Amino acid sequence: MPLSLSYPCTPTLPTLVKIQIEDQGGNEIGTKTLTTDGTLTLYLRGYDGSNTFISYIPGTWTILGGIGTLSQSYGTSTIFNPTKVGIGTITVTDGSHTDTTEVITVLHGAAALLILSPQTATLTADGTQTYTGTAIDADGNQWDATPDITFTAQKGTFTNNIYAPKETGTWTITGTYLSLSATATVVVTTGEPATITLTLPQTTTTNATFTLTVSLTDAKGNPCNGTIALSNTTNSISPTTILLTNGTWTGQATITRLLNGGIDTITATYQTISKSATITVYITPGGTQTIGSNYGTITLIETGSITEDFYVTIKDAKG
């Protein structure tokens, strides 16, 4: 019988030539763009010189660029959690071989918070206020969301992000961005005085009182306080100064002198602003009225209730 010999067979192990960062489908990680709301699972695979897959290789993972975190820093895989807007790469090494991803770009995630600026503002009714809005995602990344925010005001109007007040007071500003909203507070004070309004009767009689109302407002109609000077054509109105409260004075006035033709003009003045209105003045029945002339002073006496036309002729000492 022939002699038969047997020897143990030792298989030839493949030589690890390179390691490669891949996704779950075995694709090399190329250039990636992620938001901070997403994740990326990475695997480390080893290949021989023929680019034949050998096995998953444990390695040490690091992030360059500070764009996020890793679920584990050592192992055959890791999960990248993007947290900061920017660009970076991920590198892994098994001690002998190294691989690095292409550039990974991280964008902000969905807005989780909206903040308006300024949070508080004070301005006059004549002014305007520009507002901006900052959106913040769950990881704290911020961006200017102003162009996409709808601004509204409790009182006043908006043109884009510019607020124009109207009524004085403390009001709420609201900004809406997607499903988020935020508020701010604005205090509106009185603007520069712009308009005087006079309310008075059509007629009065000399030395009798009549009700006069004087109002002062800014350009938006808000009341303004101040001291108003009163005058009339015959310089005989009383009072001559009044102090407004909440933008208005209502009181009793008197005119003591009659103007030829009976129509007098009352003027209210505040600094450079004035307003005039006419009133017809009659002689008080049974009373006297003094008028001026180029020759002296004439006193008229009315004893009845019927007004008659009359003429006065003035002569000098020679007739």
In angstroms, rounded to a whole number, what is the distance separating the alpha carbons of residues 274 and 70? 75
- pLDDT category at 145 given cuts 50, 70, 90 is very high
Identify the residue with better confidence: 12 or 25: 25
pLDDT of 3 over the 60 cut: no
Which residues, in sequence order, are CB contacts of 221 under 8 Å at separation 6+? 166
Domains of the chain with CATH codes? 18-107 (2.60.40.3450), 111-189 (2.60.40.10), 193-287 (2.60.40.1930)
Position 220 scores a pLDDT of: 96
Identify the residue with better confidence: 212 or 298: 212
Which residues, in sequence order, are CB contacts of 316 under 8 Å at separation 6+? 295
Q: How far is CA 4 from the centre of its chain?
A: 99
Tokens of 272: 């450079």
In angstroms, rounded to a whole number, what is the distance separating the alpha carbons of residues 264 and 232? 7
Percent of the chain with pLDDT over 90: 82
pLDDT (mean) for 281-290: 68
In angstroms, rounded to a whole number, what is the distance separating the alpha carbons of residues 53 and 26? 10
In angstroms, rounded to a whole number, what is the distance separating the alpha carbons of residues 230 and 248? 14
pLDDT (mean) for 281-303: 57
Closest-CA residue to 153 (of 188, 179, 192)? 188
Strand (E) or helix (H) holding 112 = strand 111-117
In angstroms, rounded to a whole number, what is the distance separating the alpha carbons of residues 76 and 72? 10
Position 10 scores a pLDDT of: 58
Position 285 scores a pLDDT of: 66
Q: Is 175 exposed, middle or buried (0-12, 13-18, 19+ CB in 10 A)?
A: buried
Position 258 scores a pLDDT of: 85
Q: Is 133 exposed, middle or buried (0-12, 13-18, 19+ CB in 10 A)?
A: buried
pLDDT of 287 over the 90 cut: no
- pLDDT category at 291 given cuts 50, 70, 90 is low
76 contacts 94 by C-beta, under 8 angstroms: no
- pLDDT category at 300 given cuts 50, 70, 90 is low
Instruction: Kindly report the backbone phi and psi dihedral angles of residue 258, in degrees, each rounded to the nearest multiple of 5, phi listed first.
Output: -100, 140
Closest-CA residue to 194 (of 273, 249, 284)? 273
pLDDT (mean) for 297-319: 46
Give the torsion sign (CA, 291, 296, 302, 307).
negative
CA distance to 204, 252, 306, per residue, from 285 (Å): 12, 20, 9
Position 2 scores a pLDDT of: 56
pLDDT of 168 over the 60 cut: yes
Which residues, in sequence order, are CB contacts of 21 under 8 Å at separation 6+? 28, 29, 42, 43, 44, 90, 92, 99, 100, 101
